[in-house]
Amino acid sequence: MKHIDYKKILSHAALILGALVVIAGLMMWVRSEEAYARDAQRMGDVIDIKLGLYRYYLRHAAYPSSATSVLLGGPDADCLGDKGFVSRKGLDCSGRPYLSPVPASLGLTDQDVYTYTPLGADSDTICDSATGCPRYGILFYFETNVFAKKGFHVLTPEGLQTL
């Protein structure tokens, strides 16, 4: 009868288990690095949108109005021109747009969108004024806690707010 070396078996099992733990840790690290990169992209996109809105404000002394919130970066709102967020395909964004193309969200989930909401002076009502709006909010989502707390945020002319 052959003798079974349990110490050798246990040492091989420990090596295999250790290798699996290292591989799992590397996979988690790669996923978190990808999330950090997506949040950096979101932050850059939102800053670009804010700068476009600032240029619009300098010319019009107000922010673009709309009867509803606007999903940014889609085919109907991929340019910020004198008539607000419009389609680049139409003539509404000809000339010198303030932002073209408007960044589109990564669209990984239903919550991963950039939404522009024109706001009245009280910040509780949507502004639909023909002369423009005094404030705005850009709703977006962070996956990590790198730039701000994970979750939904609103960027306003005054700065970043966590919801």
Q: How confident is the model at residue 45 (pLDDT cuts 50, 70, 90)?
A: very high
What is the CA 128 to chain-centroid distance, rounded?
A: 25
Residues 114-158 pLDDT 10s: 999 999 887 778 888 888 899 999 999 998 988 889 999 999 999
DSSP string, 40-75: HHHHHHHHHHHHHHHHHHHHHSSBPP-SS-EETTST
Tokens of 87: 């389609």
The domain spans of the chain are: 39-162
Judge whether 79 and 48 are in contact, CB under 8 Å. Answer: no
Judge whether 73 and 5 are in contact, CB under 8 Å. Answer: no
Residues 2-35 pLDDT 10s: 666 666 666 666 667 666 665 555 555 555 788 8
* pLDDT the model gives residue 15: 66
Spatial separation of the C-alpha atoms in residues 71 and 137, rounded to whole Å: 12
Closest to 156 (Cα-Cα) out of 128, 108, 122: 122
Backbone Cα Rg of the chain: 24
